[in-house]
Every structure is written in C-alpha cells, then in structure tokens.
Amino acid sequence: MLSLVYTITEDKGATVMKIIKVQDQTMGGKAGFAQFDAALKQGASTFGLATGSTPITIYEEIVASDLDFSEKTSINLDEYVGLSGDDVQSYAYFMHEHLFNAKPFAQSYVPNGLAEDADAEVKRYEEIIDANPIDLQLLGLGQNGHIGFNEPGTSFNETTHKVTLTQSTIDANARFFEDENDVPRYAYSMGIASIMKSKNILLVAYGEAKAAAVAAMIEGPVTEDMPASVLQNHANVTVIVDEAAASKLSDQVEFSEI
C-alpha cells in the first residue's frame, strides 16, 4: 500500500489530503475499513454512508469484522424519489443488504423516497444532519466529478435538495428495471454544503474512467464545474485510489511507502 500527504496551499492557509494508492478494490476495501476502525477508536458517533459498487468492499470488510455500530448513527447521502425503502433498487434496500442486516446502527437515516412534500423532506433531512454532525463521510466519485447526486454546476452552497437526474444517469439505470418508465427521474441528495460539514471525509475511486476526475479533484482549480474539487477546501480528506484511477496525477504527486 502506498500513501502521500499532499498539501495544497491557498491564501487562507493549507489544506491537507492524505492519498492512499492501492492495488485493487480488495485492497481498497481494507484501506477503507482501516479508516472506519480508526474513527470508531477515536470516538466517532455518526457515519455518512454511500451506495454503489465503490464502497462494497469496504462494507464487506466491516461485515467480516468485530466492529460494533449498535450505538452509532448513520446518515446516507441520497435516495431515489419514488422508490420505497423495500424496493430492491432503492438505496435503503442496498444498505440493508450490504451492511445494516449484519451491522445494525442505533439510528439509520436515508431520505424518504415516497415523501409527499419534497420541500419538507429536504428540510427534514438537513435538520437530521445538523442534529447529528457527521464524523466520517464516505464518498464515491463520478466520472464527471460529481459527489452524491451533485452534478457539475451545482452550487457549493447547496444543502440537501431534490435533484433532476441527468439523462445519462437515467439511461445507465435503465438496465435495472423491466420497464423504462419505472426508472427514477429524481433523487434526494445531500448538497455539497451538507457534505462539507463533515469532520472527516473519505473519498474512494477506482478505474481508469475515474482518472481524469481524480486529477481534477486533487490538482485542478476549485470550481463548481468539478464538484469534487471543493474537497480542496476541507481540512481532513483521505482519498483511496487504485493505480488506474491515479494514472493522471502529475509527477508532483509522489507516493511514498507506508
């Protein structure tokens, strides 16, 4: 396993990103597990969780461990609008299948996909985040730099909101549904400002398709056209990448062995 503490200096001071490069997703799962283990030992009480293929190996490591979250709180990044929590395509269902059934939390929050009042739901969810400050927030990374469902152009000041899914996301999700008319068109998502409230952030990215976004996130300008670049403004960020995802980082980013 290789790592680097990469310092980005700005007028306001310095932001530090700890970058861990791993061989593959299996090793990434072990590195991610170590972050959760350390957070628990440091007294973390609230964990921000993500869905999708990227965090699965982390969850597998947690499930196979003796880590105990029975007195902890989890808050998920997002959920599809229109899906119930027991729908197999919902993020609530995903979390139960991959983590909660084996490692229950005292409280687990996921946006209510069936909420009748969207404005009330996003307000309710942001209040949950404020009432339960997140100690460690887990993130994936989109090929275009999105985090959560915050696509390029999303304001850095956005809190929890209802998102209109891009056509590319809708098309990509269509394979999971028998009828294309059942594919969700909207989602609830933590906003960028919501994510940035977290005390510590862990972002994980694998594969060559993520390489350009990884390089822009770490070495590019901070811009709403690259949502993940906002993490340069956060004081405590750890990034786990495999060789392929790290392939477009400049020579200035040198990895050292740990």
Query: Is 150 a catalytic site residue?
Result: no
**Residue reference for tokens 């269902």:** 93
Whether 71 sits among the annotated catalytic residues: the reply is no
Q: Which residue in the list 60, 78, 79, 126 is annotated as catalytic?
A: 78
Out of 112, 144, 233, 236, which one is annotated catalytic? 144
Task: Assess whether 151 carries a catalytic annotation.
Answer: yes
Asked whether the beta carbons of 6 and 19 are under 8 A apart, the reply is: yes
- Residue 113 Ramachandran class (φ > 0 left, ψ -120 to 50 alpha, else beta): alpha
Best CA proximity match to 18, nearest among 247, 252, 215, 202: 202
Burial class, 81, CB count within 10 angstroms (exposed 0-12 / middle 13-18 / buried 19+): buried
Q: Report residue 33 as tokens.
A: 């597990």
The side-by-side arrangement of strands in the sheet containing 161-164 is 78-80, 186-189, 161-164
Per annotation, catalytic residue among 60, 121, 146, 150: 146
| Catalytic hit among 61, 126, 135, 151 | 151
Which residues does the annotation mark as catalytic?
78, 144, 146, 151
